[in-house]
């Protein structure tokens, strides 16, 4: 219990410090604190959550690793011929972490039942996803080469897929756990879109602050939903 209290208290302090560093525009220090936050949150998940889910745990690991490598890439540049390999590695890890999360959500759903009950919802959401990904990614087209653009396109597509899966999961289950997951996914999307705007449209510090705030809120709701048990329906018991 004492270790849990220390971890939670440290996370709260680091979250406040992280937001404060972003407000003060101390990007290097903020990146370091952000990496520590994710590592501590992963440790808290391992310590606090009794019934751990494999892919949710892998999500935390991959995201924390991406944050750590992103921090070290600020000091060590890995690349040749004007190609920044750390950019591809870090963003690929972020994509992988979200894919793990999507898999975990789908594993807790009765996919056939979802498709049968919500075909129109799914079609509309897929159309909206495609439109959103095209619009958002095209804002970066003039500043990225073909490989970078392709990576950003995949990144944004995975983010929107996560939001869609979380929304369908909430519509299907309509419980507190799925609501927390949906809120976390919404905050992740907000954070990513604002970060993209900050990097490629306008470097206004308030955007970076809101990006950081939404990221902290997203992982707060991810942690809260992880602590809640799955409330499966009789036809979903095989999904445990």
Q: Quick check: 74 pLDDT over 50?
A: yes
Residues of the chain with pLDDT > 70, as a percent, come to: 92
Q: What is the pLDDT of residues 109-142, one digit of tens each?
A: 888 899 999 999 999 999 999 999 998 888 888 7
Q: Dump pLDDT digits (tens) for 160-206.
A: 999 999 999 999 988 888 999 999 999 999 998 898 888 887 788 88
Q: What is the pLDDT of residue 219?
A: 86
Q: What is the pLDDT of residue 232?
A: 52
Quote the Cα angle for 229-230-234, to 5°.
140
Which residue pairs, CB below 8 angstroms and at least 24 apart, start in 158-162?
158/95, 158/98, 158/99, 158/102, 159/98, 159/188, 159/189, 159/192, 160/129, 160/132, 160/133, 160/189, 161/102, 161/129, 162/98, 162/101, 162/102, 162/105, 162/188, 162/189
Count the neighbouring beta carbons within 10 Å of the beta carbon of residue 79: 12
Whether the predicted pLDDT of 53 surpasses 80:
yes
Confidence of residue 239 (pLDDT cuts 50, 70, 90): very low
The helix/strand/coil state of 65 is helix
User: In sequence order, what are the beta bridge partners of 84?
Assistant: 79
Which residue reads 């000091």 in tokens? 75
Asked whether residue 230 carries a pLDDT value surpassing 80, the answer given is: no
pLDDT value of position 130: 93
Q: Given this model, what pLDDT does residue 180 score?
A: 92
- Average model confidence (pLDDT) across the chain: 85
pLDDT at 42: 83
């Amino acid at each position: 219990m004492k270790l849990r209290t220390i971890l939670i208290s440290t996370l709260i302090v680091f979250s406040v410090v992280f937001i404060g560093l972003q407000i003060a525009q101390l990007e290097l220090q903020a990146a370091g604190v952000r990496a520590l936050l994710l590592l501590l949150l992963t440790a808290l998940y391992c310590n606090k959550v009794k019934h751990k889910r494999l892919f949710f745990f892998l999500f935390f690991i991959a995201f924390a690793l991406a944050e750590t490598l992103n921090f070290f890439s600020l000091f060590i540049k890995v690349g040749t011929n004007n190609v920044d390999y750390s950019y591809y590695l870090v963003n690929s890890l972020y994509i992988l972490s979200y894919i793990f999360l999507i898999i975990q959500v789908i594993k807790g759903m009765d996919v056939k039942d979802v498709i049968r009950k919500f075909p129109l919802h799914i079609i509309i959401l897929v159309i909206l996803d495609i439109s959103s990904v095209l619009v958002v990614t095209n804002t970066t087209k003039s500043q990225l080469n073909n490989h970078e653009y392709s990576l950003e396109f995949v990144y944004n597509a995975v983010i929107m897929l996560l939001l869609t899966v979380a929304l369908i999961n909430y519509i299907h289950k309509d419980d507190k756990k799925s609501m927390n997951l949906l809120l976390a996914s919404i905050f992740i999307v907000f954070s990513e879109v604002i970060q993209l705007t900050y990097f490629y449209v306008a470097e206004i510090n308030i955007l970076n602050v809101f990006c950081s705030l939404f990221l902290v809120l997203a992982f707060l709701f991810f942690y809260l939903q992880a602590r809640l048990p799955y409330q499966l329906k009789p036809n979903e018991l095989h999904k445990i």
